[in-house]
Amino acid sequence: MEKDTLLAVRGLTIQYETDSGVVHAVNGLDMELRHGETLGLVGETGAGKTTAALGIMRLLPEPPAKIQSGEILFKGEDVLKKSDAELRSMRGKKVAMIFQDPMTSLNPVLTVGEQIAEVIQLHERKSAAEAHVKAQEMLRLVGIPPERFSEYPHQFSGGMKQRVVIAIALACDPELLIADEPTTALDMTIQAQVLELMRSLRKELNTSMILITHDLGVVAEMCDRVAIVYAGEIVEQGTAHDVFNDTKHPYTMGLFGALPDLEGSEERLHPIPGLMPDPTHLPEGCRFSPRCPKRTDACVQTLPKNVETVPGHSVRCLLYEHGMQG
Amino acid sequence: MRKGNGEKRKDGLWTDAAKRFRKNKLAMAGLVMLAILILCALFANYIAPFHYDEQNLPAAFESPSLRHLMGTDNLGRDIFSRIIYGTRTSLSIALVAVLVATLAGGLMGAVAAFYGGVLDNVIMRFLDVFLAIPSTLLAIAIAAVLGPGVTNTVLAITIGQLPGLARIVRATVLSIKGEEYIRAARSIGAGNMRIIGLHILPNAMAPIIVQATLYVASAILSISSLSFIGLGIQPPTPEWGSMLSAGRAYIRDYWFIVAFPGLAIMATIFAFNLIGDGLRDALDPRLKN
């Protein structure tokens, strides 16, 4: 493992064991995150992005969820081997998470200030008064007047609540921030503000980030590297520049094709035909083959391996195996 | 705008609820009735003109008058005084029974919901056995086995109400456990005890308080029922149900012997139901704003 690697996920496989069958949510996921870097995890709804993120935090409800195999190395230590107490001291202090919906991720009966102070008191030896002061500082940092410390979540708008959630996540200066679609529940103008806030704070605190989203626009704006997730595995991974300008995987191409283009004269968008495969019955061979416009007979039988086309840009598609590009 | 914000600042969930409760005239009426009942219970020896077992046989079966506001019974005891003292019996037994049932049932329900799995099944199936028997019948059976008396009445009513309260707490905790903010609390490193105490229980209080209030009403009815059939509070301790029972032989000629204890039971239950309904309206988040 390289020296400046903060997080390395190897062959992570997570399943949900339900009465109606085994849901293969994450299938052999590999990814790596360096210090100070932002990785965009992009994919459709149900691709397993959130499951993977919760798996890294060990926040999955087990059972029904089960981490079958793989390792999650955070600063060289396997998260999967940590005890409950070690996990508790990791969560919030070293790895923090921002959830999708700020409307439901704050406790309605505690003031926002108390909720920020809670994480500070959990991880830092501070008195209630000191935590109070630090919480007010955090409020100021995310652009909320500190006087609103003793207000309740229902007195805040959605965008303001997400700022509070960000304040909670960053209060203990974590090394890794996992943001699970942090702006999906917000409207467009607020989205831009919240993203801008996250970007500037991240830079200021030098926090590494995994940004989960299905919005390629957000990725272009925020991320250094991108990983495209399909049916629980990463099909293409590389720098944002490479993935956007030298797109390799047919699925990634399909995602770009489904975006509206301001300059183009196309009258219709080009959605990818079909739906995500049912995670209880994944197709044999390449998971994307049933929907792939470039499918060959081999695709239906062989699960493609990860191929690095240029250093740092890898793709999981038979088209690029054996060095036969294009 | 600024002033509006300043005013809003202090409003917590409970302050908001208290405001809504105060606006509800029926609920406030219930609260006033309850206040009167509690005062009667606390200061019965000052309010009641006679002692509850002070007999005056020549003055038996006297109709309501200024001297005996609600008349006298077959032994010449002042019915008004007995009803005042009866408040003490009914309220204290009902409150203690519901409090114990809420704490014990709540603990069982919360543990079952939070830990789930086998533990949940064991606890809830055990309680289901009790739930299968109508609570009054269960209370009668328990009182019949243990014998009459204050302690046994409390026990009978507690056991009768515990399963229902446990189910309510379990359902509430179960729904709160799935909330995103519980996962968020976990994500900042909070442990189980902290999550139960700081995040789940405060959010579960509202429905539990509403149900407990309504259960007090049914507890009062159960006490009276038990005493009516002679299994609850024993004479001479004044109890509305046993007063009804003792007076029912004379109902044709002396209506007031049964009418006033009956009214007392009705008014008390009515007060608790009004308060319970008012609390539900005040605390229901769907009716907010």
Cα dihedral B97, B102, B104, B107 in deg (nearest 10): 180
- Residue A38: left (phi > 0), alpha (psi -120 to 50), or beta? beta
Q: How confident is the model at residue A326 (pLDDT cuts 50, 70, 90)?
A: very low
Q: B199 to chain A: nearest residue by CA?
A: A107
Q: How confident is the model at residue A249 (pLDDT cuts 50, 70, 90)?
A: confident
> Which single residue is written with the structure tokens 């002042």?
B78
Q: Stretch B263-285: mean pLDDT, rounded?
A: 89
- Burial of B259-275, coded b for 16+ CB within 10 Å and e otherwise, reads bbbbebbeebbebbbbb
Share of chain A above pLDDT 70, in %: 96
Pairing label, strands A225-230, A38-42: parallel
Residue B12 scores a pLDDT above 70: no
> What does the mean pLDDT of chain A come to?
83
Q: How many Cβ contacts (< 8 angstroms) between chains A and B?
A: 78
Residue B8 inside a domain? The answer is no
**CATH number of the domain that residue B210 is part of:** 1.10.3720.10
Residue A322's pLDDT is what? 66
Question: Which residues in chain B (177-206) have CB-CB distances under 8 A to chain A?
Answer: 179-181, 183-191, 198-199, 202-203
Residue B10 inside a domain? The answer is no
Residues of B whose CB is below 8 A from A105 = 180-181, 183-184
**B156-190: per-residue pLDDT in tens?**
999 988 999 999 999 999 998 888 899 888 888 88
Within an 8 Å CB–CB cutoff, is residue B88 touching chain A? no
**A253-292: per-residue pLDDT in tens?**
888 878 777 776 667 777 888 788 888 888 888 888 888 8
**A119-134: per-residue pLDDT in tens?**
888 888 888 888 888 8
Range of B196's domain? 20-287
Residue A39 scores a pLDDT above 60: yes
Residue B179 inside a domain? The answer is yes
**A74-102: per-residue pLDDT in tens?**
888 888 888 888 888 888 888 899 888 88
Residue B3's pLDDT is what? 38
Residue A323 scores a pLDDT above 60: no
Residue A231 scores a pLDDT above 80: yes
| Nearest in space to B223 (alpha carbons), one of B284, B113, B132, B143 | B143
Q: How near does any CA of chain A get to the CA of B125, in Å?
A: 21
Residue B289 scores a pLDDT above 80: no
| Nearest in space to B80 (alpha carbons), one of B68, B66, B93, B98 | B68
Share of chain A above pLDDT 90, in %: 0
> Taking every pair of C-alpha atoms in chain A, what is the biggest distance, in angstroms?
67
Residue B177 inside a domain? The answer is yes
> What does the mean pLDDT of chain B come to?
86
Q: How confident is the model at residue B60 (pLDDT cuts 50, 70, 90)?
A: confident
Q: How confident is the model at residue B123 (pLDDT cuts 50, 70, 90)?
A: very high
Residue B6 inside a domain? The answer is no
Q: What is the sign of the dihedral through the CA atoms of B238, B240, B242 and B243?
A: positive
Residue B3 inside a domain? The answer is no
- Count of structural domains within chain B: 1
Q: How confident is the model at residue B52 (pLDDT cuts 50, 70, 90)?
A: confident
pTM value > 0.90 = no
Cβ–Cβ of B181/A122 closer than 8 Å? no
> Which of A57, A110, A111, A155 to probe by mutation at the B interface, max B CB count within 10 Å?
A110
> Which single residue is written with the structure tokens 């799995």?
B117
Residue B100 inside a domain? The answer is yes
Residues of B whose CB is below 8 A from A111 = 12
Residue A325's pLDDT is what? 46
Residue B5 inside a domain? The answer is no
Residue A202's pLDDT is what? 84
Q: Is the predicted ipTM greater than 0.90, yes or no?
A: no
